[in-house]
Amino acid sequence: MSAEDLPPELVPVNGALTTVAFRRSVRAKRISLRIDTSSGGLLITLPMRASRRAGLALLQAHEGWAAEKLAALPQALRFTQGAAVPVHGVPHVIGHVPGARGGAWIEPGRILVTGEPDFLARRVTDCLKRLARQHLTAMTAQKAQAAALKPKTVRIKDTRTRWGSCAPDGTLAFCWRLICAPDYVQDYVVAHELAHLRHMNHGQHFWALTETLTPHRDAASEWLTRNGMELLRIG
């Protein structure tokens, strides 16, 4: 759990100025470095007593790796007028209809957004989150009933590092950006997290149960390997 976010700074990484964010965490046992898909920069997580200087030393030691990963980041897909946003894997073009009412809604091939231009991105995000909540919750309920599994609840989160999670109390959580992926990918992620209700590991029995809940393990895993980073850069 993040206890304190420190001011970011611009740091040269292989000669290119890069935004580096720092986060203190009461859970962190050691300093860690990862790509921040939201900003297109880097995130250094520090234990409570670790210094910013120590974090920068870790970055310096792994500068080549960081530069390679940053260069491989796909371009961010921002929610702007005319942008083509995938919904269930199908491109939908954002259209601004300022004189209409209704916030934002989805039609075949289009996402229509009302109101002032400054609110467009937020309204598209809210619309996709609502759709993700409806669709993934329904899919979870259907699969859970068929397998006699009982999740406590389903939550939709704005995560940038994982597609889903299963808490010890049976709460399932999914990244809202999954609604942008093809249906078979969503089907696999839901099955994966449901299987964790019975097996909190990735052992043989876990995978056997997962494959009874979805026929899409291999295809979906391959799709996420190819397109996962691009998916995380949406919004």
CATH code of the domain containing 162: 3.30.2010.10
Query: Does residue 11 sit in the same domain as residue 98?
Result: no
Chain-centroid distance of CA 221 in Å reads 15
Instruction: Give the pLDDT band (50/70/90) at residue 38.
Output: confident
Query: Does residue 107 sit in the same domain as residue 41?
Result: no
User: Quick check: 223 pLDDT over 90?
Assistant: yes
User: What confidence score (pLDDT) does residue 4 get?
Assistant: 57
DSSP letter (8 states) at residue 103: S
Q: With H, G, I as helix, E, B as strand and everything else as coil, classify residue 153.
A: strand
Kindly state whether residue 79 falls inside one of the protein's structural domains: no
Query: Does residue 29 sit in the same domain as residue 116?
Result: no
Query: Does residue 112 sit in the same domain as residue 141?
Result: no
CA separation, residue 232 to residues 5, 60, 85, 113, 119 (Å): 22, 26, 13, 22, 21
**Which residue type sits at 221?**
S
Query: Does residue 150 sit in the same domain as residue 221?
Result: yes
Percent of the chain past pLDDT 90, that is, above it, reads: 94
Average pLDDT along the chain:
95
Kindly state whether residue 8 falls inside one of the protein's structural domains: yes
Kindly state whether residue 78 falls inside one of the protein's structural domains: no
* Residue (of 148, 143, 134) closest to 178 by Cα position: 134
Q: What domain range includes position 194?
A: 132-232
Query: Does residue 180 sit in the same domain as residue 221?
Result: yes
Kindly state whether residue 77 falls inside one of the protein's structural domains: no
User: What confidence score (pLDDT) does residue 202 get?
Assistant: 97
Query: Does residue 136 sit in the same domain as residue 225?
Result: yes
d(CA 198, CA 170): 10
Instruction: Provide the whole-model pTM.
Output: 0.85
Query: Does residue 43 sit in the same domain as residue 12?
Result: yes
Query: Does residue 120 sit in the same domain as residue 136?
Result: no
Query: Does residue 177 sit in the same domain as residue 111?
Result: no
Query: Does residue 57 sit in the same domain as residue 93?
Result: no
Number of domains in the chain: 3
Torsion 211-234-177-81 (CA) sign = negative
Query: Does residue 116 sit in the same domain as residue 140?
Result: no
